[in-house]
Amino acid sequence: MPIIALAGNPNSGKTTLFNRLTGTRQTTGNWPGVTVEKKVGMIRYRGDILTLVDLPGIYSLSPYSMEEIVTRNFILTEKPDVVINIIDATNLERNLYLTLQLKKLGRPIIVALNMMDEIVSHGDKLEVEKLEELLGVPVVAISAKKNEGMEELLQMVSKTAAIHSRDLPDFQPHGHHHGGRHGGQGLHDHQGPHGHHNPVHEHQHSHPDGLTHSHPHPVGHHITVDHTEYPEESDDETAELYRQASEIHNEVLTHSHPPQALTKSDRIDRILTNKWLALPIFLLIMFLVFQITFSENLGGRLTELLDIFFQDVIGGMVSSWLIDTQAPAWISSLLVDGIIAGVGGILTFLPQITLLFAFLTLLEDSGYMARAAFIVDKIFQGLGLSGRSFIPMLMGFGCTVPAVMAARTLENERERRLTILITPFMSCGARMPIYALFASLFFASSKGLVTFSMYILGIIIAIISAVIISSFGKNKQNSQSSFLIELPPYRLPDHKSLFLHVWDKVKDFLIRAGTLIFAMSIVVWFLQSFNLKMQMVSNNSDSIFGMLGGLIAPLLKPLGFGNWQSAVALLTGLVAKESVVSTIEILFTQDQLLTMFTPLSAYAFMTFTLLYTPCIAALGAIKREMNSWKWTAFALIWQIGMAWIVSMLVYQIGRLAGAM
């Protein structure tokens, strides 16, 4: 089965092309030994099946970042039959740099010239045949977003794969391209646009509104790589590669606008990344996301309908069937009060979770989240971090486990450790059903605002934690690493890629609900139904859970929810945060919940679930990345301590202020 590698710069449309070619025939995981995402898909074309491997987005083949190492090693060792190098035609000169490097790796290359529709719409002219001649490799003009040029690209891939085998020696350029001026002769590797050859380099951003900041940082690299197959080269050779890329660009692309003219993205950035407006606009956008997600006419209504479906329709049907079959009472209790209440209680929030994932994916794919990292960078500098730490923290809004693992790409050990310690305060998607449940019951008129406040509170506590922990560090400013980020043009996301991104996250939620939450619902039902003598109890306060929760409840009394049910719900949340909701659905009726909590104590409970220890899987990730039991124990104690202190302050200050 031929193996096709897909390589290109970030924001070149690589993911969109991968989704176009593979559809749903793809799997996602991590590369062996590293936390860089690995995507593999199958292409069916004219009776053939091709394996497409989506390599990480990189700007160069310098072996300094995890992504660069993965891409370079895969091409050198696995020797794919074809490398599709996707190029952003609107950013041709910078993208060509990687193309010239890829040619040196000795595999058959096909250049997929993406976003040609934008070239046309801008009134620019790009000579594809001349580019093909100068590069010495086949070039196919495509628009992955509009599904244009896919047939031509697949035809070229199939033809090239049929000619070349992975077992053949290193590939030489096609014979009919030998006339190309840059046909592979004298091309050299480089240290990348990040400037890694220099021990100190500038962190600098520039925007039309004058928002620029620059500061030197020492750069250290902790990854060792075998350079024998691909030796490092001098700055002069690097400059030569840049010169060739620039020369090719100038020969094939003619712009319709003056060189200094502002693009549409530049004009938008004058507002969205404005020195004074950027942060308020970011907060406003996120607030609107939560308002729409929890709107009574959208997410709230769908959740209400699902609740009726699971509790009344499914629960009612099962209850009637059990009565008709004269099933034992414990079976009815297990199925209706345990499994349906627990799993159904989680699944009712699927519409709101889907909406939230869709909005966050939309913001990311449009190019705005890259601006968000830029916006917070200056704030992070004061915390001993850089905007680079924002990427793992942003991932923390989805799941803490990959977010903690993503911190591995941070070059500075101190910065990496601090990022891991504060990332769990970012409210993961598993906590969202908790907020949705309590907000709908106690804050019906302001669900979006209350839920939004949880996410903002998590960020604030992360910042406070970073300030406190950083104050114990030494040489904070001298230990920071650089932060370079590309601000891609604003684009409307491709609907198919958007769907696949959201579906990946929703599928993970459904799998957890059907496996882990299902199992936890049975465990919770058992522990709240039986005592230590394995006798079924009529009053669940006499159960195993009742006894265990009774020991913990006094510690939670100053927080406003000193009852055993809340205590054991928090304990089950250590397995999976969704289990907090499934446990509450099993232990409380809605009327009991309204009696047991006030709006103030409900908010304090939400605060505690936001800040306390993440799930066991996240703790395992922290241990692996820290490689230290001491730091893992510190993280555990810090998170529980912050959760208790902040929740206590919320409740006690609220009481003094007269809120209940």
Give the pairing of strands 139-141 and 109-114.
parallel
Residue 607 carries which side chain, given as an amino acid letter?
Answer: T
Three-state DSSP state, 215: strand
| Cα gap 182→133, rounded to integer Å | 8
| Cα gap 77→371, rounded to integer Å | 36
Q: What is the pLDDT of residue 228?
A: 40
| Cα gap 228→299, rounded to integer Å | 56
Residue 406 carries which side chain, given as an amino acid letter?
Answer: A
Q: How many CA atoms lie within 13 A of 526 on its CB side?
A: 9
Question: Spelled out in words, what is the top-level CATH class assigned to the domain 3-166+185-193+229-254?
Answer: alpha beta
Q: What is the pLDDT of residue 203?
A: 36
The ranges of the chain with pLDDT < 70 are 24, 28-35, 165-234, 259, 386, 409, 411, 473-484
Q: What is the pLDDT of residue 241?
A: 86
Q: What is the pLDDT of residue 233?
A: 59
Query: Among 4, 109, 101, which Cα is nearest to 51's?
Result: 4
Mean pLDDT of the chain: 83
Contacts by residues 400-407 (CB-CB < 8 Å, ≥ 24 positions apart):
400/424, 400/426, 400/428, 400/614, 400/615, 400/618, 400/621, 401/617, 401/618, 401/621, 402/35, 403/428, 404/618, 404/621, 404/622, 404/625, 405/30, 405/35, 405/621, 405/624, 405/625, 406/35, 407/625
What Cα–Cα distance (Å) separates residue 147 from each residue in 121, 128, 656? 16, 18, 61
Q: What is the pLDDT of residue 43?
A: 92
622-635: per-residue pLDDT in tens?
Answer: 998 898 999 999 99
Give the pairing of strands 82-88 and 3-8.
parallel
261-289: per-residue pLDDT in tens?
Answer: 778 888 999 999 998 999 899 999 989 99
Rg for the chain (alpha carbons), in Å?
Answer: 28
Give the rounded distance of the alpha carbon of 181 from its chain centre. 42
Tokens of 262: 């502002």
Q: Is 136 left (phi over 0), alpha (psi -120 to 50) or beta?
A: left
Q: What is the pLDDT of residue 240?
A: 87
Q: What is the pLDDT of residue 654?
A: 95
| Cα gap 629→652, rounded to integer Å | 34
Q: What is the pLDDT of residue 34?
A: 64
Q: What is the pLDDT of residue 220?
A: 30
Q: What is the pLDDT of residue 474?
A: 53
For CATH 3.40.50.300, list the domain ranges present in the chain: 3-166+185-193+229-254
**pTM passes above 0.75:** no
Query: In 10 A of CB 165, how many CB atoms?
Result: 10
308-341: per-residue pLDDT in tens?
Answer: 888 889 988 998 998 888 888 888 888 988 898 8
Residue 451 near residue 434, CB atoms below 8 Å: no
What Cα–Cα distance (Å) separates residue 225 from each residue in 51, 79, 552? 27, 18, 51
Q: What is the pLDDT of residue 493?
A: 82
What Cα–Cα distance (Å) separates residue 110 from each residue in 34, 162, 196? 28, 14, 28
